[in-house]
Amino acid sequence: MDKIIINGLACRCRIGVPAEERKTKQTILIDAEFSLSLAKAGKTDDVRHAPDYHALEKALRACAEEKERKLIECLAEDLAAVALRFDKKIKETLIRVRKSPAVMPGTKNVAVEIRRRRT
């Protein structure tokens, strides 16, 4: 299976378990992989046979920034659902969400990674 990868998508979100942490937006980073066949796009050089990366990035950003969440696990699930709905050519997605928690100042970041398949 081929892959499209978007790395380091920076979003400003209200996220965190303590209410105090959700009071201000913080930057989270999203890495996303999309598994699909790119053979037809590669052979034809025709953009109609590949997902629109820019529109996909915008959909992921909108999802991340649209509402407040406590857990990055919840954000990862929401992002995976968006990716699988975005284009029927996408068969599987791997989503990694990273943040630097204010309550853990000695830690560079924490991350959650999930893999979801089209059913």
Residues 89, 36 contacting (CB under 8 angstroms): yes
What does the pLDDT average to over 31-47? 97
Q: Where are the domains of the chain?
A: 2-117
Beta-strand runs (E) in 14-78:
26-36
Structure tokens at 31: 């890495």
pLDDT tens, position by position, 41-73: 999 999 999 999 999 999 999 999 999 999 999
CA distances from 49 to 23, 33, 59 (A): 42, 17, 19
CATH 3.20.20.70 fits 2-117, yes or no: no
